[in-house]
Amino acid sequence: MTAWTLAASILLAAAAYLVLTGFFATWRKYHGVRLITCPENGRPAAVSVNAFRAAHWRAVSGEPVVNLKSCSRWPEMGGCDEGCVSQIEASPQSCLVRAIVADWYSGKSCTFCHHPIARIVWHERPPAIRETDGTIREWTTERVEELPDLFRTCDPVCWSCYVVEGFRHDHTDLVIERHRIEETMHTIAPSSAVY
Ligand SMILES: [Zn+2]
């Protein structure tokens, strides 16, 4: 058996272990930042689950062990009983921040170009928002736990307008407005002459 064959066999065995034991599916299920309601104060908080640990215990014992890896209320509330985990286990997908943001943009149109916000491509063309003071920014720059309050007061902005209007807002001295002159369509009147 060559070194390459041995390496391929090990990789295949590892992939089979990750898939067949549910490790990969569990990791995907609990990966990502979530927005929950903190049971202690009833306010939104951003948390993330230790997805690797949950996946490990799913693979070893058949049941995932779900614990928080981070919380926006830590370290002040560090050592809490993590009562919000029940919200995550009840509906892991609906409290994902990306799902909440996508749901907010769904059916909305850009406040500048009025085109519907198309399917969100997070890594290439994330959508943006316009705040009440006119500031335009990507939603990812916001603190997640503030999103519910922010979405109540801001307007949706598509990625293209975020680039154009953001530049216009930040660099007004570099922008020259030129209004396009609409050309009128001239039509030739039908002739009654006989040739
Ligand atoms: Zn737009």
pLDDT tens per residue, range 91-110: 999 999 888 888 999 999 99
Decide: 162 and 124 in contact? Cβ < 8 Å. no
The residue from 66, 90, 114 where one domain ends is 90
Do 56 and 13 sit in the same domain of this protein? yes
Distance 160 CA to ligand 1 centre (A): 6
In the chain, how many domains are there?
2
Task: Look at residue 169 and tell me if it is in a domain.
Answer: yes
CA of 127 to the centre of ligand 1 (A): 9
Q: Which residues surround ligand 1, an ion (CB under 5 A)?
A: 110, 112-113, 158, 161
Residue 188 lies in a domain: no
Give residue 110 CA to ligand 1 midpoint distance, Å: 5
* H-run or E-run covering 156: strand 155-157
Gap from CA of 158 to ligand 1 centroid (Å): 4
Q: Give the least confident one: 41-55, 101-115, 121-135.
A: 121-135
CA of 114 to the centre of ligand 1 (A): 6
Please tell me whether residues 14 and 37 are part of one structural domain.
yes
CA of 91 to the centre of ligand 1 (A): 32
The rounded percent of the chain whose pLDDT value lies above 90 is 37
Lay out the sheet containing 128-130: strands in order across.
136-138, 128-130, 155-157
Cβ–Cβ under 8 Å, residues 33 and 47: yes
92 Cα: distance to centroid of ligand 1 (angstroms): 31
**CA-based nearest residue to 46, from 96, 118, 8:** 96
Same domain as 47, residue 72: yes
* Residues 168 and 108 placed together within one structural domain of the fold: yes
Residues, the chain: 195
Query: Over the chain, what is the mean pLDDT?
Result: 85
Question: Residue 57 class from Cβ within 10 Å (0-12 exposed, 13-18 middle, 19+ buried)?
Answer: middle
Domain-located, residue 184: no
Q: How far away, in angstroms, is 97 Cα from ligand 1 center?
A: 22
Name the residue range of residue 109's domain.
97-173
Task: Give CA–CA dist 94/113, Å, rounded.
Answer: 29
Q: Residue 194 pLDDT > 80, yes or no?
A: no
Residue at 192 is within a domain: no
Q: Convert the pLDDT of each residue in 1-19 to its tens digit.
A: 688 888 888 888 878 777 7
pTM for the full predicted model: 0.72
Same domain? For 106 and 66 the reply is no
Query: Across 42-143, where does the E strand assignment appear?
Result: 44-49, 68-71, 128-130, 136-138
Pairing of strands 44-49, 68-71: antiparallel
pLDDT in tens, 73-89: 999 888 899 999 999 99
Residues 6+ away with beta carbon under 8 Å from 54: 26, 27, 29, 30, 64, 65, 66, 67
- CA 125 to centroid of ligand 1, rounded, Å: 12
